[in-house]
Amino acid sequence: MNGGTLILGLSGLFCFFAGAYLAATHSRTTGIALMSMGLIFQVLCLRQLKQAKNKDTSDAGR
């Protein structure tokens, strides 16, 4: 796992939690936008992890 994958995962968590806080307390639309950005970052992180796993399994047969 490289640094970019970690950054995507952490930024996804941060955006989602910040968006949940904002949606509950201050600006609902900004909170919802941040939560959706957080989910997109999490999907990108999971895609990177899946690609890394597939690369490791294909290299194991060599």
Per-residue pLDDT of the chain (62 residues; tens, 9 = 90+): 789 999 999 999 999 999 999 999 989 999 999 999 999 999 999 999 999 988 878 776 66
The pLDDT value recorded for residue 55 is 84
The pLDDT value recorded for residue 56 is 79
Cα separation of 31 and 48, whole Å? Answer: 26
Cα separation of 38 and 31, whole Å? Answer: 10
**Long-range CB contact pairs, 4-8, < 8 A, 24+:** 4/48, 5/45, 5/48, 5/49, 5/52, 8/41, 8/42, 8/44, 8/45, 8/48
Backbone angles phi, psi at 2, to 5 degrees: -100, 180
The pLDDT value recorded for residue 59 is 74
The pLDDT value recorded for residue 60 is 66
